[in-house]
Amino acid sequence: MMEKTGAATLSGELAERIRQDLLDGVIASGSRINEVSLSRGLAVSRTPLRAALQMLAGEGLLTYTPNRGFTVRAFPLSEIVDAYEMRALAEGLAARLAAERGLSADACIELENALTRGDQILASGIEPNAQRAEYAEINEIFHSVIHDAASSRLVSDVLRLCQQIPQTSTHNILAFEIDDIRERHRFHHRIYDAILAREPREAEALMRQHVVSVKTSLIRAASRQITTAQRNRPGQRKAAVE
């Protein structure tokens, strides 16, 4: 019984680690999982790894095909947009509920620390990818604290579903330009001020606008990626030369 419990715990830990890599885009969308290489990289046997991959397939992050194994599920842009629309509604409600119910002293401290740290990261002269990676942590904390302050299981469930699409996760800001992130951070300050002032309608409106603007940034980033891919097609390069 103890061995089964230990194996289940290891599989759960592996699933969490791989899930985060999927959400962060470390494992590319549409790529096939090489179980042998992954097990070596994680220094685990294939049995708990296979169980972890099956968990993630059950969540819809991976697709299993007999004789081919697991593949990272690729989400169409239309589905990503739908998830952002739903997230905007749920996040807006979370902000309104947080403003109506008030923030605890601990929540205020966490949000103020996140805002201050965000100011510092975006004002630093570090390399842009490092800025994005550090700010991703702050972004996730900011939104999570507001979700908790809303004290709504339904809102939490909806947001959990939305964030199963990697591009919709609050942790996923890697595709955005630094100027986009600075604009998002300015929204964070305004949202916090509205919640702190117990202004539910303002907090809800700002949060919805914030998430919709993130969706716009994502669509712009996706459009750039598609354009780049089209330009790099061999046939198109040849045609350009001719």
Q: Under a CB-based contact definition with an 8 Å cutoff, are residues 205 and 92 in contact?
A: yes
Q: How far apart are CA 14 and CA 44, in angstroms?
A: 9
Question: Is 123 a residue whose pLDDT tops 80?
Answer: yes
Q: Is the pLDDT of residue 87 over 60?
A: yes
Taken in order of first residue, the domains within the chain and their CATH numbers are: 2-72 (1.10.10.10), 77-230 (1.20.120.530)
pLDDT of amino acid 218: 72
| DSSP secondary structure code for residue 66 in this structure | T
- How much is the pLDDT for 200? 98
How far is Cα 200 from Cα 215, in angstroms, rounded to an integer? 23
pTM for the full model? 0.69
| pLDDT tens profile 204-216 | 999 999 998 877 7
Mean pLDDT, rounded, for 45-66: 87
Lowest-pLDDT range of 1-5, 48-52, 89-93, 213-217:
1-5
HSE, side-chain direction, 13 A CA sphere, residue 125 = 0
Mean pLDDT, rounded, for 60-70: 87
Beta carbons within 8 Å of 32's beta carbon, 6+ residues apart: 68, 69, 70, 71, 72
Does the pLDDT at position 136 exceed 80?
A: yes
In angstroms, the Cα distances linking 74 to 31, 94, 171 are 9, 29, 18
pLDDT at 199: 98
Does residue 137 or residue 102 have the better pLDDT? 102
Instruction: Average the pLDDT over each of 60-74, 109-123, 153-167, 215-229 and give the range with the smallest value.
Output: 215-229
How high does pLDDT run on average in the chain?
A: 83
Task: Determine the pLDDT at residue 241.
Answer: 34
Tokens at 228, concatenated = 């780049």
Name the residue with higher pLDDT: 217 or 58: 58
